[in-house]
Structures are given as C-alpha cells and as structure tokens.
Amino acid sequence: MTTVQIKTEIQKVLDQVPDDVLTDVLDFLKELQSHPSDKIRLAKFLKQTLNEDKGLLEKLAQ
C-alpha cells in the first residue's frame, strides 16, 4: 500500500469512529509522533509476540 492509500483507509476508519473516541485517537497519534520509529516497531513486535504466545506464557507462569 502506498502512503496515500494508507491515509485514505485511515480516513475511512476515522469517519466511522464515534466522536467521543476521536480525541483519544488524536492523543494516541500525537504520542506516537514523540517516539522514534524504531521504538514504536519494537513495541509493536513485543505486543504481537505476547499476543501470539499468550497460551505459552500462561503455562510458564503456572
């Protein structure tokens, strides 16, 4: 996907988000701006790993 296509898709989704949630989305996007992209990617990877390995992590915790 190109940047323009991604922005168009984001706009479509934002058009469907309830008004009271838009402020939270804006705050989240502003917070992302203040972090270097490599840290954002690392956090995304960590979240994905935790979600995929949730069952394994629960077994290890027992």
Each residue's pLDDT tens digit, 33-59 = 888 888 888 788 778 877 777 777 677
pTM for this model (two decimals) = 0.55
What is the structure's pLDDT at 57?
64
Reduced to 3 states, what is the DSSP secondary structure of residue 34? coil
What is the structure's pLDDT at 2?
95
User: DSSP assignment of 21-37, as one string?
Assistant: HHHHHHHHHHHHHTS-H
The count of domains in the chain is: 1
Task: Kindly report the number of other CB atoms within 10 A of residue 25's CB atom.
Answer: 13
Distance of CA 25 to the CA centre of its chain: 10
pLDDT class of 30 with cuts at 50, 70, 90: confident
Question: Quick one: CA dihedral 43, 47, 31, 16, positive or negative?
Answer: positive
Domain that holds residue 26: 3-61
